[in-house]
Structure 1
Amino acid sequence: MTQNVQIGKTEVFSTPLGLGTNAVGGHNLFPNLNDDIGKEIVRTALNSGITLLDTAFAYGMGRSEELIGEVLKEFDRSKIVIATKAAHDPAKGGAFNNTPEFLTRSVNEALERLQTDYIDIFYIHFPDETTPKNEAIAALQKLKELGKIRAIGVSNFSLAQIKEANQEGNIDIVEDEYSLIHREAENELLPYLKEQQISFVPYFPLASGLLTGKYESDVTFPPEDLRSKKPDFQGERFKAVIDKVSQLKLIAADYNASVAEIVLAWYIKNPFVAVVIPGAKKPEQVINNVKALDVHLTQEDYQRINKLF
């Protein structure tokens, strides 16, 4: 097993591979989800040695947190790292809210749904347009001093917003889009975070399945499928990505691993990335993802993959 990583400068430590839980109770995001399967996904992750569970109020409007809270009771809470997020305000029709009052209430309500007395990592899920970001973080800092949260995070913030929020140096972790095919963050964001000792968690690390090797270039998606709207899944861009992924199959064969395991191992070796959090819709996918912890890429192969994309 790979050694645990420290979140920012906090006392929170996590496995370098976590579980993204938007398909656990995220009925508003995916059709036909089954809550019992969702709970089994969480159980499988914890039984496989994963310690970090990444959830959010927006996944099922609290349902994901409730299901995780039910499973938590079966395990030693002190060994589990719970990350959750809030910004969608039901009182404002789901509009983003970062006010100190809203964030404080969100933390307290999440604690109830999760049936726990502290949250390891709490993120502001999206920036709103009006709240000064340093005031939003100051509210979370108070909750941290009260022991209700252990690490402060932001998600989907621009670099300027992160800097505004981090005026007192209180941000511990940032979660944002980053993958082998979306690398804009390498230009300015990731160097700033590294310099400030802020941990980074990429979301969509497998690019909605595009980086798993399961698609061929002639596949099409029906209009109701979210993927049919994504530029990554269209035309020449889609074909180009599929072509590169097929070259990853050769590297995967050398390691006796799947393409997804190789891609996840690339993030685990990436000096900018603290924890990678692939999601799963089935317990078997969790078991497959965990195998990535046993894939130790050579520096040469890490660079080969780097150059390929």
Structure 2
Amino acid sequence: MTNSGTNMEYLAIAGVAQPVSQLIMGSMQLSDERMDAAVELLDAYAAIGGNALDTARVYGPHGMAAIGRWMRERGNRDELVLIAKGAHHDEAGPRVTRAAIADDMDYSLDLLQTSYADIFMLHRDDPGKPAGEIVETLQELLATGRCRALGASNWTSARLEEANAYAKAHGLTGFACSSPNLSLAKANEPRWPGCVSVDAAEADWYERSQLPLLSWSSQAAGFFTGRFSPDIRNNEEIVRVYYSDDNWERYRRAAQLGEAKGVDANQAALAYVLHQSFPVCALIGPANAAELLSSAKALEVALSPEELRWLDLRDE
């Protein structure tokens, strides 16, 4: 399915009424304190066929409030897929509890000015709890109509498999999608505590299961934009997470292949994410419409399996 006039493609997520656009707009750059800029960006996203918005309580209230006001002004709630993430840990540790889930959901729905989220996604796992126990806890959101589908962010494939096997065995609704980090640049270590990045073994599991993957930091925090180089080391987080000889070679290949296809390295790297052998959406966080449209050029790039392997250093 392709949106008329754009190259946006869509994928189905079980329980969600409409297909989900392959580019998902993150909300961290949006603010109700800068509504003119938020409206411009959200309108530009809708104009290219985007229909999915990613929110989380831990991101603060302003992005959700901006989305809520924009949806009310445009009257377009039914056209959108809203993702609400909750149960992020705090200074005391994991918060994957019935009370925290309900509180985070109510907080989000109030700001978004809607009665339901299309997807409620746990922002983190609590490995100390059986996955089945967590699945049991989440059923209440579905039963009360506060969400239509369940997702898990930063869960390993082993935990996802445990959860969905439990759900199937007990006649419950399991996770319809997952949101780890997947990018052409491979993380040396978790960017934040509890984060999960897709390695080769995880990718094999997603290929087998075909569980839709919604990748956060799909553009590796700007690693491919040209703002960084091996000699520029003033961003300690990016140096820690992404600086490696292999990633600089991936950057070189993305630039080389991108030039041949008429795009830049960042667009080629995003196209890599979108061309996996399992259903993938990419979360993007543009600061303005120009950045959005630059990322959207990745939708125009076709990559063969051989090119994907070459970009990822799996072929010479």
Name the structure 2 match of 1:126: 124
Distance 2:256 2:157 in 1: 37
Distance 2:49 2:72 in 1: 17
Name the structure 1 match of 2:151: 153
Distance 1:276 1:131 in 2: 29
1:203-242 mapped onto 2 (5 Å cutoff): 203-221=216-234, 226-227=237-238, 230-233=240-243, 237=244, 240-242=246-248
Partner-residue secondary structure (3-state), 2:285: coil
Distance 1:104 1:42 in 2: 28
1:58-97 mapped onto 2 (5 Å cutoff): 58-60=58-60, 62-75=61-74, 76-88=76-88, 95-97=93-95
1:283, distance to aligned residue in structure 2 (A) = 2.4
Name the structure 2 match of 1:41: 41
Distance 1:303 1:88 in 2: 34
Query: Percent sequence identity over matched residues?
Result: 22
Distance 1:195 1:202 in 2: 17
Partner-residue secondary structure (3-state), 2:312: helix
Partner-residue secondary structure (3-state), 1:151: strand
- Higher relative CO (CA 8 A, sep ≥ 6), structure 1 or 2? 1
1:93, distance to aligned residue in structure 2 (A) = 5.2
Asked if 1 retains the 8 angstrom alpha-carbon contact of 2:11 and 2:21, the reply is: yes
Name the structure 2 match of 1:30: none
C-alpha RMSD over aligned residues: 2.8
Partner-residue secondary structure (3-state), 1:126: coil
Go from structure 1 to structure 2 and tell me whether the alpha carbon gap of 1:9 and 1:261 turns closer, same or farther (over 3 Å shift). Answer: same
Asked if 1 retains the 8 angstrom alpha-carbon contact of 2:163 and 2:175, the reply is: yes
Distance 2:247 2:207 in 1: 28
**1:135 is aligned with what amino acid?**
E
Asked if 2 retains the 8 angstrom alpha-carbon contact of 1:156 and 1:175, the reply is: yes
Go from structure 1 to structure 2 and tell me whether the alpha carbon gap of 1:161 and 1:299 turns closer, same or farther (over 3 Å shift). Answer: closer
Asked if 2 retains the 8 angstrom alpha-carbon contact of 1:200 and 1:275, the reply is: yes
1:232, distance to aligned residue in structure 2 (A) = 1.9
Q: Deviations over 1:217-272 (max 9, x none)?
A: 322316xx6435x2424xxx1x5523431232221122211222211112211123
Instruction: Pick which of 264-273 and 110-119 moved more.
Output: 264-273
Instruction: Pick which of 172-181 and 73-82 moved more.
Output: 73-82
1:274, distance to aligned residue in structure 2 (A) = 1.9
1:9, distance to aligned residue in structure 2 (A) = 6.4
Q: Deviations over 1:42-101 (max 9, x none)?
A: 3321232211111211112x3321122122223322221111201137xx6574311123
1:161-240 mapped onto 2 (5 Å cutoff): 161-166=159-164, 167-169=166-168, 170-182=174-186, 185-221=198-234, 226-227=237-238, 230-233=240-243, 237=244, 240=246
Distance 1:187 1:253 in 2: 27
Distance 1:139 1:209 in 2: 37
**What TM-score do you get using the length of structure 1 for normalisation?**
0.82
**1:103 is aligned with what amino acid?**
I
Go from structure 1 to structure 2 and tell me whether the alpha carbon gap of 1:4 and 1:84 turns closer, same or farther (over 3 Å shift). Answer: same
Asked if 1 retains the 8 angstrom alpha-carbon contact of 2:23 and 2:283, the reply is: yes
Distance 1:66 1:2 in 2: 26
Report whether the alignment pairs 1:292 with 2:291: no
**What TM-score do you get using the length of structure 2 for normalisation?**
0.81
Instruction: Pick which of 122-131 and 108-117 moved more.
Output: 122-131
